[in-house]
Chains A and B, each alone.
Chain A
């Protein structure tokens, strides 16, 4: 499978983080490279290899040699097990193309969908990011259920409707990748982060590969981690600038609940002769109130942190600034206003 050598700058940078597991990287490269060639998109491939997956390096080196030293394949090795977010960030930083395509390091989807993806990005009414959705899913029932639960939780909290945000296939414009700021488990929520930065995102169906089939089980730790990730994203996309809104809602809610419980207990004490001390629920009420106060005060700390460390973050993202170009009438200042201006400068 020969393809035309890359001449000049690539148009597309394919970033492949090799972090958790990897499939036949050689075949992955060839299939996607061939499809990109067919679409006439000069591309570079950036493999970012996590320290935990050093086993993939010999294959990649070999591939690099086979393809030739035209800068088509770049291999970045991470100095430690830094995870997928770090790998993606590094790869995207090195990317030279105006379009960035991220892929999983194993076969998830058919490269045939690439044409559609580019159409969605560059066609009329083009969006800023295209996310692949493996459709129809050929995974086991268990994995599909798991994925549905995950996406319904994410959708509920963030008010979005995605079916497969964890699919590795994402095609985006370069300016999107520059603003993602990934770390920790955030790579799973790239579409949501892009949306919160004001970019447009579209999901397109892609045929899932047989290689992607199989039941994957995770430990409880993984699920807890995922849940925490969802909450983090919810917090970060909605409340970065206004932490007290988050903690305050939670805190006042807890406080109100505790107050209500105790109020009922006290009213019952007054009406009937049931002693307050016999009622454990009284303690629950007071504890909830205290917890509410704590949560609220943490929110205040959050506000102080934002104020003293990041006061100039802006909530908004500007798409464009249009300056008027029409004829400019030169304003004729009346003597009266001139005087007031002088008075203003004098004071």
Chain B
């Protein structure tokens, strides 16, 4: 199997027929052996029936139905779990992505990239409710992961199967797949893809709130960058508090020895010193606890992540 095409679907009864036709046509043109994995993310409309009809007609289709709605990340994860193709392509179920871009993505995979991410440069969505929050999120993701990608939210992406197998997605991590994978050593490329205005239904996956992005990033950064030495991560997190402690301490010392006020002695700085020091010490201690957890953990899992990094590394050297 060369290519697995994974499409998450949620209440797409109107578009699923057209989607199947269009994706099939585009996939046929690739001239590669492919499978189409449609993940029904707990749709409540007639999506499931339509999918059954499609299955009766087309043996290259595999449908995975969820018990309830679990969100796009889980749907993609299910698709990855069932994919058998050497390359996995994901796209949205609402036909906003253009299946004719498959060839472009595969071309870059063939060139040796592990992840090829679509960039909807001419995004056909509302400015305030969709584009602005996503611009802010992308900026933050780029800053924190060091992999500036313009459009993390674009579902149209292609991955090498080995890379995707190592990924364990949850929460809304599909948004960070490309930077996540580049953190673990995969070669990532961004290509401009076509984006079309929505023909059917309305947008279902709402705006991701920025704090969620921030929290997920904290996690990803820790897990991918510091899982073998979590104490160091916590030490880095504690740095601002260390600086706070030192500043407040210095001020207290200055007040005590240099300024020496007779009355109205300011207690603010000594107490700030204590509290900052408290937070600092707490983070350091928690860091040790983290070391302990990692040490007794299933190290094979950790090694799997590191192996991805190694794989990516050796891969560059060869290509």
Decide if A331 touches B32 in the complex (CB within 8 Å).
yes
Interface size of A by Cβ–Cβ distance < 8 Å? 61
Q: Which residues of B contact A303 (CB under 8 A)?
A: 219, 222-223
Closest to B53 in A: A326
Contact check: which of B70, B73, B215, B275 meets A286 at CB < 8 Å? B275
Closest to A241 in B: B170
B63 near A: Cβ within 8 Å? yes
B54-85 Cβ-contact flags toward A at 8 Å (1 or 0): 11111111111111101101110110011000
B234 near A: Cβ within 8 Å? yes
Within 8 A of A (CB), among B299-319: 299, 301-302, 318-319
B51 near A: Cβ within 8 Å? yes
B227 near A: Cβ within 8 Å? yes
Within 8 A of A (CB), among B66-106: 66-68, 70-71, 73-75, 77-78, 81-82, 86
Decide if A320 touches B60 in the complex (CB within 8 Å).
no
Closest to A128 in B: B67
Closest to A199 in B: B67
Closest to B212 in A: A245
Known: A244-B218, A275-B264, A328-B59. A341 touches B279 (CB 8 A): no
Decide if A297 touches B212 in the complex (CB within 8 Å).
no
Interface-facing stretch out of B10-18, B177-185, B285-293: B285-293
Decide if B286 touches A298 in the complex (CB within 8 Å).
yes
Decide if B33 touches A322 in the complex (CB within 8 Å).
no
Decide if B74 touches A249 in the complex (CB within 8 Å).
no
Decide if B278 touches A290 in the complex (CB within 8 Å).
yes
What distance in Å separates the Cβ of B280 from its nearest Cβ neighbour in chain A? 9
B266 near A: Cβ within 8 Å? yes
B205 near A: Cβ within 8 Å? no
Q: Which residues of B contact A344 (CB under 8 A)?
A: 86, 110
Decide if A322 touches B55 in the complex (CB within 8 Å).
yes
A242 near B: Cβ within 8 Å? yes
Contact check: which of B34, B66, B168, B298 meets A309 at CB < 8 Å? B298
B272 near A: Cβ within 8 Å? yes
A240-252 Cβ-contact flags toward B at 8 Å (1 or 0): 0110110011001
Contact check: which of A282, A301, A305, A337 meets B31 at CB < 8 Å? A337
B268 near A: Cβ within 8 Å? yes
A308 near B: Cβ within 8 Å? yes
Interface size of B by Cβ–Cβ distance < 8 Å? 79
What distance in Å separates the Cβ of A237 from its nearest Cβ neighbour in chain B? 12
Within 8 A of A (CB), among B198-216: 211-212, 214-216
Closest to B70 in A: A316
Closest to B240 in A: A293
A121 near B: Cβ within 8 Å? no
Bound Cα distance A283, B271 (Å): 8
A224 near B: Cβ within 8 Å? no
Bound Cα distance A315, B81 (Å): 12
Q: Which residues of A contact B241 (CB under 8 A)?
A: 293
A220 near B: Cβ within 8 Å? no
Bound Cα distance A347, B314 (Å): 11
Decide if A327 touches B64 in the complex (CB within 8 Å).
no
Contact check: which of A276, A287, A311, A317 meets B168 at CB < 8 Å? A311
Contact check: which of B60, B272, B294 meets A328 at CB < 8 Å? B60
A304 near B: Cβ within 8 Å? yes
Decide if B68 touches A287 in the complex (CB within 8 Å).
no
Bound Cα distance A324, B275 (Å): 63
B118 near A: Cβ within 8 Å? no
Decide if A315 touches B289 in the complex (CB within 8 Å).
no
B52 near A: Cβ within 8 Å? yes
Decide if A340 touches B266 in the complex (CB within 8 Å).
no
Q: Which residues of B contact A294 (CB under 8 A)?
A: 279, 282, 286
B239 near A: Cβ within 8 Å? no
What distance in Å separates the Cβ of B196 from its nearest Cβ neighbour in chain A? 26
What distance in Å separates the Cβ of A238 from its nearest Cβ neighbour in chain B? 11
Q: Which residues of B contact A199 (CB under 8 A)?
A: 67
Decide if B171 touches A241 in the complex (CB within 8 Å).
yes
A300 near B: Cβ within 8 Å? yes
- Give 9 A-B pairs besides A245-B171, A300-B219 with Cβ atoms closer than 8 angstroms: A244-B218, A248-B211, A248-B215, A249-B211, A303-B223, A305-B297, A307-B223, A316-B75, A318-B64
| Chain A residues within 8 Å of B, Cβ to Cβ | 197-199, 241-242, 244-245, 248-249, 252, 275-277, 282-283, 286-287, 289-290, 293-294, 296-301, 303-305, 307-309, 311-312, 314-328, 331-334, 336-337, 340-341, 343-344, 347
Q: What would 8 A/B residue contacts be, using CB atoms closer than 8 Å?
A: A309-B297, A311-B301, A316-B75, A319-B67, A321-B62, A322-B62, A324-B63, A327-B59
